[in-house]
Structure 1
């Protein structure tokens, strides 16, 4: 049986992976420049970048635009627990990740208008939530709420306080609907999270409805697959699956 000859990019990736595993390159250390590595391995820059993309996709290397390629510190895994009412649903054991929240007033585009069942151009408030482990981004969530449900005196608050303030202006929640898919990140998402465009992400779209039937929140979550799991638990009814006589 003839075995295929490894491509140059896989050979380079294997060598760099070995050097990372043996501690030659340590966590947080900057790799030599792409031009230096291309010269060292006697390949073109595109081939070298293709090899680095493999390591970025595995979560071993982090590319920071304008600074270079760095060896990642080991990233802890978090579990997204489905069905929770709070907008900040990714959870983990141990100390919580650091979370930054940026607020902006936006208008509903076609996708958001459809999710929230509001007219195109309706006023919304966007909460962009970025979690961090140390200096490394860990996960991204964009949460959209109809502007009349957002307190006018809203200030920079902790996620817990923000959740409580939002709950003051709406009826109790009745349903949390979530759609989960795996895909590759957009260039903007990859840049924000400092991941390679070849690393699969968990993309979660969540719509929360209150007891009046109104959609009061739409959340778009992006969780890199090298550090995230999703858990959904169902509770079948007592009569489910029983046959009728």
Structure 2
């Protein structure tokens, strides 16, 4: 009977995993270069990268473009609070998070036409928001607002996330309804790149659509979070008929 010999990259992954889990390699520590590791284990860089891919898939190692491979810090979860969050995709806006915002004008394609219930080609403001804690991405949001509802100055100025959220919050009264659709799914290639998560990892995807009393969509926001970095909380408020409570 032929004895099965595990591929060499599994042995390398096992050794590096042991160093990480026993604390010999600390969270945030940069691993030796891929060339140095390949030389240490007497393998090709292709085999070495296969070993690192195993650890990246397990969430133990993350590769930062242009910097190298690092021992991933234990994930710190944030809380997404369901409902109207003054257009803030991280409604618990924690001070430890650094949020970058890129604003641009786009035209509604078929997907956005369905979300916002506007004609194809309608002008929309897009706010691309990515949150980080140190080097680790925590969430990705694309917020879409009809152009005529965007406060003056938001599209033209270089603003911080806090300033942008504050200006967007002056849209008026809270919406009449907020509908949120939640699912777990594999990330798209763009999401996997932005969130630095493997394509085999599951993300939590929330699509939030807010409408006013006339039924007009005033905001549509597809939000994406790595599954190990967020808890989502949704609360239902029951309305009591005052006539039943009197007498």
Fold-level match, TM-score > 0.5?
yes
The equivalent residue for 1:180 is 182
Q: TM-score, normalised by structure 1?
A: 0.82
Q: TM-score, normalised by structure 2?
A: 0.82
Task: Provide the C-alpha distance between the structure 1 equivalents of 2:93 and 2:117, rounded to a whole number of angstroms.
Answer: 36
Superposed CA deviations along residues 56-115 of structure 1, whole A, max 9, x for unmatched, are: 233321112333211123331111111134222425596341112111111111101110
User: Which residues in structure 2 correspond to 1:36-185 (within 5 Å)?
Assistant: 36-38=36-38, 40-41=40-41, 45-91=45-91, 95-154=95-154, 155-169=157-171, 172-185=174-187
Task: Provide the C-alpha distance between the structure 2 equivalents of 1:217 and 1:157, rounded to a whole number of angstroms.
Answer: 20
Q: Would you say how many aligned residue pairs link Structure 1 and Structure 2? A: 236
> Residue 90 of structure 1: SS of its match in structure 2?
coil
Q: Conserved in 2, the CA contact under 8 Å of 1:130 and 1:138?
A: yes
Q: Conserved in 2, the CA contact under 8 Å of 1:99 and 1:130?
A: yes
Task: Kindly state the Cα deviation for residue 146 of structure 1 after the two structures are TM-superposed.
Answer: 0.7
Task: Provide the C-alpha distance between the structure 2 equivalents of 1:162 and 1:212, rounded to a whole number of angstroms.
Answer: 26
> Residue 217 of structure 1: SS of its match in structure 2?
strand
Task: Provide the C-alpha distance between the structure 2 equivalents of 1:32 and 1:148, rounded to a whole number of angstroms.
Answer: 52
The equivalent residue for 2:206 is 204
Structure 1 segments unaligned to the other structure (5+ residues): 240-245
Task: Provide the C-alpha distance between the structure 2 equivalents of 1:41 and 1:238, rounded to a whole number of angstroms.
Answer: 68
User: Which residues in structure 2 correspond to 1:208-223 (within 5 Å)?
Assistant: 208-223=210-225
Q: Conserved in 1, the CA contact under 8 Å of 2:139 and 2:226?
A: yes
Task: Provide the C-alpha distance between the structure 2 equivalents of 1:179 and 1:5, rounded to a whole number of angstroms.
Answer: 46
